[in-house]
Structure 1
C-alpha cells in the first residue's frame, strides 16, 4: 500500500510518502522557504570570467547565481559547436538575461542557473527551446513508448522539446494536449514579462510542495492521500478531479484528534531516520557522517550474530543495509557523492549482488541515483543528483557550542558536568 500523508499547521506544510507504512520521502515547506529550483528570473550579468568559462548573474538573491558556459550554449546537440567559444563572446557585464534556477544556494555557494528552460506538468515536461522528444525510460512497453512519442511529435511546435513522463502511460492525446497548453501559456507569460521588466526580477515560480508532490507522485499506484486540513483538502480535491475523478476519490480528510503523523507512523520513523546512528532490524546499524563535499556511511553488524557462516552473516547485514541506505538517501534527500563502507566480503558474487540490489532500490527514487561501483579500497561509490537543501539542512541548525563538529573541549565538558 502506498500513501501520501499531509499535515498542515499555520504556515507549515509537511508531506510524507509511505510505502507499506514505511516512510520513504518527506518534505516540509514554509512560505518564506519556497524552493528556488525551477524558478525563472530576468537577471543582470555582473561578472564574466573567461578563465572559468562562467559568469555570475544577479537574480535578486543574497549571492549572485553561477552560470557555466554549457548552460548558455544551445540545449540540442546538433547546434553545439565542436570548439566552445569564450563565454565573453556570448554575454557581457550589465546584460539582461533570462535564466532558470537548477540548483539551490548551498552553503557558501550561490544558486546554479541555466538558459535551458523546462516547465514540468502532470504528464509532460515542456522545454521551449530543446527541439527534441523524449519518453520516460520507466515506461517499459515499446509499443506504448512509440505511441507516446508519435503523440508528442504531433503536439509540439517547431523548436519545442517535450519529455513524456512515466505517469503519462496510456493517457489520451486530449489529456496531454491540455497539459501542454497550460505550460505553453505559462511560458508565454514569462516572455511577456521579461520584455517589459527590469532586472533582477522573479518571473515564474514552481508550485508549492503539496502541489508538486501531487503532480509528481499522486498516481494510480497511490492508494490514498490523507490531509488534516479540510479547507486545503477540498481545494486539492477540486484540482485533482480535473485530472482524474478516480484519484480525487482517494483523497480523505483526516478528522481524528490524534495527530495525523502519529496515527500514520511518520513522526517516529522520521526521528529515527534523522539520527547519526540508524539501527537495522537485524541488529546491525549504519553511521552517517556528512561533509560539504560528500556523505560517508559505515555499515556494522552490531548486535547481529547471524549464523555459523561469517560470510553469510556479513552478506545478510550488507543486503539489509543496502536497502536501508537507498531509503535514507531518498528520505533525507542527500545529494552529491556518497561513499559506503560495507562490511568486507570475500565473495565477488556477493559484491555484485549488493551492487545489483542498490541499483534495484534506486529505481524507486524519483531523483537520479547511480551505484558507480566499488573503489580500489572496497568502498561503494554512489552519486545522487543534488539540487536543493537536504532534509538535514532544512530541519537542523548548526550547534552554537560545538560549531557542528559534535565535540567540545574536555575542559568545557567537565565544567558543564560540575554545573
Structure 2
C-alpha cells in the first residue's frame, strides 16, 4: 500500500472510508444509521411548522417525520413550502440544523445559488493554474447562470475533462433543484455516503491510492477500537477525551513527569494531536480543555500551537479562548455522528 491511501470498506453493512497516512488512520467516515436522521448535505422540500419566539427561528417539517430548525425565519409564513439543506447533525433530542442557503458541492467546485460571482481558493497560488481553471469555467458556464461558484483548492488536482464534467453535473443539479415546483414534503437530494464523501474531500491524486476493502488487513479496525477508549497515551502523561450531554471534556495529565516544564510540554502535545482525535472520534459542539498546570506567560505559546493545528483541520472550529477558571474552549461544528454512538466493534 502507498504512504497515503483511501480504503473503502463496510462495517455492519454500512459504507465506511479510512484515510491512511504511513499506516496511521488520519480520518474516518462511516455512513450513519437511518435512526440518526438526515445526513449533512441532504436537500429537502419542507413545510414551515412553528415559529420560535425570541430566537427568530422556525421549526420545519421534513421527510420521514424529522424536524429541522432554521435560525432565520424573516419573511416566512406558517405552512409555507421551503427548500432547505441539512448543515450538521443535531444535539441529542433536538431538531436537525438546516439552512435555506443551499450549495452544491463537488471535489473541485461549489455552486452557490445565493452568492453570485467566482471566488478562487487562496490555497491556489499558481497564476497558471488559476487561468487554466477559469478558462474551463468560461467554456462551461452559461452566460445566464443565476448562481456563483467557489473554486476549491483540490481543483488543481483535476484534469480539464474531469473538472469540466463536474461543473456540468453540478450546474444541471442546481438548476433542477432550484426550479422545483413540488408542493409536498420530499427528499430531493440525498447527502453523500461515506465512500462518496471520502472521494470528494480527501486529497488523493491517483486511482492507485484508492483501495476497495482492506480494513482488517491494514489494522483499521484495531485503530478504531483504540478510539473507543477515552484515554490517549502520550509518553509519561495522558489525555482523556470524554463526551457528556452538554460538552466534550478534555483533561490533560502529566503523569509521572514533575519537572517545571511538564505542564507546558503536555499541553503543547495536546495542541498537536487534538484535531485528529476529535475528527476520528466524530466529536463536535462545545469542547472544554482542562489543561495541565502551566505559567500564564506560556499561554501564548499554547495558543499559537493550537491555532496552527486547527488551521489545517477540515471541520469548522472556532477557538473561543480562555475562561475565568483557566479552561480553554473550542466550538466545533457537528459534521459527524460520534464514533461511540455509530460504531459497534
State the shift of 1:351 in Å. 2.5
Q: Which of the numbers 348, 351, 361 marks the counterpart of 2:309? A: 361
The answer to whether the aligner puts 1:128 opposite 2:131 as a matched pair is no
How far, CA to CA, are the matches of 2:190 and 2:110 in structure 1?
A: 15
Question: Is the alpha carbon distance of 1:344 and 1:7 closer, same or farther for their aligned partners in structure 2, counting shifts above 3 Å?
Answer: same
The answer to whether the aligner puts 1:285 opposite 2:238 as a matched pair is yes
8 A Cα contact 2:6 2:209, kept in partner: no
Aligned pairs for 1:306-317 (under 5 A) are 310-317=259-266
State the shift of 1:161 in Å. 1.6
Q: Could you tell me which runs of 5 or more consecutive residues in structure 2 were left unpaired when the two chains were aligned.
A: none
Alignment partner, residue 24 of structure 1: 26
8 A Cα contact 1:135 1:165, kept in partner: yes
Q: Could you tell me which runs of 5 or more consecutive residues in structure 1 were left unpaired when the two chains were aligned.
A: 73-86, 221-246, 255-259, 397-419
SS in 1 for 2:215: helix
8 A Cα contact 2:32 2:337, kept in partner: no
The answer to whether the aligner puts 1:374 opposite 2:328 as a matched pair is no
Aligned pairs for 1:257-406 (under 5 A) are 260-280=214-234, 282-303=235-256, 305=257, 310-346=259-295, 348=297, 350-395=298-343
The answer to whether the aligner puts 1:41 opposite 2:28 as a matched pair is no
How far, CA to CA, are the matches of 1:29 and 1:127 in structure 2?
A: 26
Once the two structures are overlaid, the 10-residue window that deviates more, 283-292 or 38-47, is 283-292
Question: Is the alpha carbon distance of 1:365 and 1:319 closer, same or farther for their aligned partners in structure 2, counting shifts above 3 Å?
Answer: same
Normalized per residue, the structure richer in strand is 2
State the shift of 1:263 in Å. 2.7
The answer to whether the aligner puts 1:251 opposite 2:238 as a matched pair is no
SS in 2 for 1:293: coil
Alignment partner, residue 143 of structure 1: 127
Once the two structures are overlaid, the 10-residue window that deviates more, 39-48 or 375-384, is 375-384
Q: Which of the numbers 102, 112, 118 marks the counterpart of 1:117? A: 102
8 A Cα contact 1:42 1:202, kept in partner: yes
Question: Is the alpha carbon distance of 1:57 and 1:354 closer, same or farther for their aligned partners in structure 2, counting shifts above 3 Å?
Answer: same
Quote the RMSD (CA, aligned, Å): 2.7
Alignment partner, residue 12 of structure 1: 14
How far, CA to CA, are the matches of 1:363 and 1:173 in structure 2?
A: 29
How far, CA to CA, are the matches of 2:184 and 2:30 in structure 1?
A: 30
State the shift of 1:381 in Å. 1.8
State the shift of 1:172 in Å. 5.8
Once the two structures are overlaid, the 10-residue window that deviates more, 23-32 or 107-116, is 23-32
8 A Cα contact 1:359 1:370, kept in partner: no
How far, CA to CA, are the matches of 1:253 and 1:142 in structure 2?
A: 34
How far, CA to CA, are the matches of 1:206 and 1:175 in structure 2?
A: 21
Alignment partner, residue 65 of structure 1: 68
TM-score (structure 1 length as normaliser): 0.72
State the shift of 1:201 in Å. 0.6
State the shift of 1:298 in Å. 0.7
Alignment partner, residue 179 of structure 1: 166
How far, CA to CA, are the matches of 2:111 and 2:30 in structure 1?
A: 26
8 A Cα contact 2:282 2:335, kept in partner: no
Q: Which of structures 1 and 2 has the larger relative contact order (alpha carbons within 8 angstroms, sep 6+)?
A: 2
State the shift of 1:268 in Å. 2.2
Between Structure 1 and Structure 2, how many residues are aligned?
A: 338
State the shift of 1:39 in Å. 1.1
**CA shift digits 1:73-94 (9 cap, x unpaired):** xxxxxxxxxxxxxx3xx22112
8 A Cα contact 1:322 1:357, kept in partner: yes
How far, CA to CA, are the matches of 1:283 and 1:263 in structure 2?
A: 31
Which structure has the greater CA radius of gyration? 1
Question: Is the alpha carbon distance of 1:208 and 1:376 closer, same or farther for their aligned partners in structure 2, counting shifts above 3 Å?
Answer: same
How far, CA to CA, are the matches of 2:320 and 2:11 in structure 1?
A: 41
**CA shift digits 1:123-161 (9 cap, x unpaired):** 00111232133333333x263686478558746555412
SS in 2 for 1:91: coil
Aligned pairs for 1:192-203 (under 5 A) are 192=179, 194-195=180-181, 197-203=182-188
8 A Cα contact 1:2 1:20, kept in partner: yes
SS in 2 for 1:261: coil
**CA shift digits 1:318-370 (9 cap, x unpaired):** 2222222221111112112211111121262x322222222222233211224
**CA shift digits 1:43-74 (9 cap, x unpaired):** 111123454322211112434211121xx6xx
